């Protein structure tokens, strides 16, 4: 949800932001027209209530009684207008930050850098590597749960927990964070991440608060009987933790590291990536989530990206970083970077980049909806926080990247050095 004050005072600016996101700028006018109506009606209602209250205090019961009906009528009108006002307001996406490239779709994302040495040998696709080793069973996944479900087995299952260990140890290490911050010339504080295993089922209003329902409901599993959504990323369960809270300024920035299963219906992607575990309905993911003061969020965003890159470098997987253009941003994001890992076995052994990480700065968009604020020590004022999220690792895709980049001629897969001590073995097969 965006700032109403900004909408009223500078609608043209918001319209430009909305247009850059390929949404209809008319949404802004729709809101302003309802808002004007609402204001007028609220004023009338307030006046009437004040009158009634005064009459009651003066014990002019009969006259006060007379105001009752009219108040009720106005109340109903205000309620209707409020619903309408809210609905139109929530349709307006978060405008991109000034630094974000204006572009119409993913073709206009900008590659910031390519890191790591891409292997040049004719590489095999991860599925054909994994098949003789019996590490992934999609067939039985299909039998038991349907398409896009699979079993991850044996050493590959153990590798998942090795990745979890690596990330947990890295992000709780303040010294290491300090080093990273220094290396990138950032000015954020080195607070460690707090590991979280969040609920994977969340209430309707919390999912709405995260801004993924207006345009994306089709992607999310919903359990009607209990009114609960299955999260598509742990971000959706972590953001609402502080809904309706006023946080203490010196507890900021708060950094969380969520580990959870993510559920996605993949409703709009029939026929795309149908094989294997690249695009499945269920996968485990380690997700970073930061809550910061507004003036810190752009730096924090760089930190999240720096951590993502650090982790990729630890695993020595080649990747590139994309600066996402305005037209390719989701509703809540004001800025976003993606990391794409190099998968040498894809594209008939010619290799290609595939998205494995994404980090967004949602500024105050989610914080407004969830009503998460902080009290400033100096001014005493209460203000909305900024919220950011970033992938530490989506396990399924990380496993794919490892298998394809660490495959050996003899059909075995070497375990990346950084994971060996956690995995307890150095080689699969």
Residues that bind RNA (CB under 7 A): 4, 39, 42-43, 45-47, 49-50, 52-57, 59, 61, 64-65, 67-68, 79, 246, 377, 380-382
Min dist. Cβ of residue 395 to RNA (A): 22
Nearer to RNA, 59 or 272 (CB): 59
Min dist. Cβ of residue 302 to RNA (A): 29
3-state SS, 193-243, equals: CEEECCCCEEEHHHHHHCCCCCCCHHHCCEEHHHCEEECCCCHHHHHHHHC
CA–CA dist 41, 20 (Å, integer): 33
Nearer to RNA, 67 or 153 (CB): 67
CA–CA dist 191, 377 (Å, integer): 19
- DSSP assignments along 132-177, one per residue: HHT-EEHHHHHHHH-TT--EE-HHHHHHHHHHHHHHHHHHT-HHHH
Q: 10 Å Cβ neighbour count for 111?
A: 11
Beta pairing class for 136-137 and 282-292: unpaired
End-to-end CA distance of the chain: 51
Element (H, E) at 335: strand 335-343
Nearer to RNA, 39 or 104 (CB): 39
- DSSP assignments along 247-298, one per residue: EEGGGPSEEEEEEEEEE---TT-TTSS-STTSS-SEEEEEEEEEEE-GGGHH
Nearer to RNA, 63 or 114 (CB): 63
Q: What are phi and psi of 190, to 5 degrees?
A: -90, 25
Min dist. Cβ of residue 143 to RNA (A): 26
CA–CA dist 413, 124 (Å, integer): 11
Min dist. Cβ of residue 207 to RNA (A): 16
Nearer to RNA, 124 or 386 (CB): 386
Min dist. Cβ of residue 174 to RNA (A): 25
Min dist. Cβ of residue 145 to RNA (A): 22
Nearer to RNA, 8 or 118 (CB): 8
Min dist. Cβ of residue 82 to RNA (A): 10
Nearer to RNA, 55 or 168 (CB): 55
Min dist. Cβ of residue 373 to RNA (A): 7
Nearer to RNA, 61 or 267 (CB): 61
- DSSP assignments along 49-64, one per residue: HHHHHHHHHTT-HHHH
Min dist. Cβ of residue 200 to RNA (A): 14
Nearer to RNA, 139 or 245 (CB): 245
Min dist. Cβ of residue 43 to RNA (A): 4
State the angle between helix axes of 154-171 and 395-405 in degrees (0 to 180), rounded to the nearest 10. Answer: 110
CA–CA dist 135, 147 (Å, integer): 18
Nearer to RNA, 9 or 269 (CB): 9
Residues 6+ apart with CB under 8 A from 130: 136, 156, 403
Instruction: Go through 317-339 and write b for each residue having 16 or more CB atoms within 10 A of its CB, e for each that does not.
Output: bbbbbbbbbbbbbbbbbbbbbbb
């Amino acid at each position: 949800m965006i700032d109403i004050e900004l909408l009223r005072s500078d609608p043209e600016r918001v319209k430009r932001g909305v247009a850059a996101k390929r949404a209809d700028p008319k949404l802004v006018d729709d809101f302003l027209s309802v808002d004007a109506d609402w204001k007028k009606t609220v004023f009338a209602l307030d006046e009437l209530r004040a009158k009634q209250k005064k009459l009651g205090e003066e014990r002019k019961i009969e006259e006060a009684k007379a105001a009752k009906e009219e108040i009720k009528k106005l109340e109903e009108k205000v309620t209707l207008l409020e619903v309408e006002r809210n609905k139109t307001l929530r349709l307006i996406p978060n405008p991109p930050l000034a630094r974000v490239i204006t572009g119409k779709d993913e073709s206009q994302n900008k590659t910031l850098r390519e890191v790591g040495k891409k292997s040049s040998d004719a590489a095999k696709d991860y599925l054909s590597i994994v098949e003789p080793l019996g590490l992934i069973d999609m067939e039985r996944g299909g039998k038991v749960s349907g398409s896009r479900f699979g079993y991850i087995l044996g050493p590959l299952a153990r590798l998942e927990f090795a990745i979890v260990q690596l990330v947990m140890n890295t992000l709780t290490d303040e010294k290491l964070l300090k080093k990273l911050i220094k290396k990138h010339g950032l000015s954020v504080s080195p607070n460690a991440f707090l590991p979280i295993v969040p609920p994977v089922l969340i209430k309707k209003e919390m999912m709405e608060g995260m801004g993924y329902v207006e345009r994306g409901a089709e992607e999310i599993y919903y359990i009607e009987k209990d009114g609960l959504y299955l999260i598509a990323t742990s971000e959706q369960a972590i953001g609402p933790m502080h809904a309706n809270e006023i946080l203490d300024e010196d507890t900021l920035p708060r950094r969380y590291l969520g580990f959870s299963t993510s559920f996605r219906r993949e409703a709009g992607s029939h026929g795309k990536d149908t094989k294997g575990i690249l695009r499945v309905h269920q996968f485990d993911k380690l997700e970073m989530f930061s809550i910061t003061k507004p003036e810190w969020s752009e730096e924090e965003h760089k930190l999240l990206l720096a951590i993502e890159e650090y982790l990729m470098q630890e695993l020595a997987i080649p990747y590139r970083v994309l600066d996402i253009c305005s037209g390719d941003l989701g509703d809540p994001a004001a800025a976003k970077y993606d990391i794409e890992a190099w998968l040498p076995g894809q594209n008939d052994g010619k290799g290609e980049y595939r998205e494995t990480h994404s980090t967004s700065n949602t500024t105050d968009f989610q914080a407004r909806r969830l009503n998460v604020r902080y009290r400033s020590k100096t001014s005493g004022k209460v203000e909305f926080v900024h919220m950011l999220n970033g992938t530490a690792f989506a396990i399924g895709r990380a496993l794919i990247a490892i298998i394809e980049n660490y495959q050996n001629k003899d059909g075995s897969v070497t375990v990346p050095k950084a994971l060996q001590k956690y995995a307890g073995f150095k080689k699969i097969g």
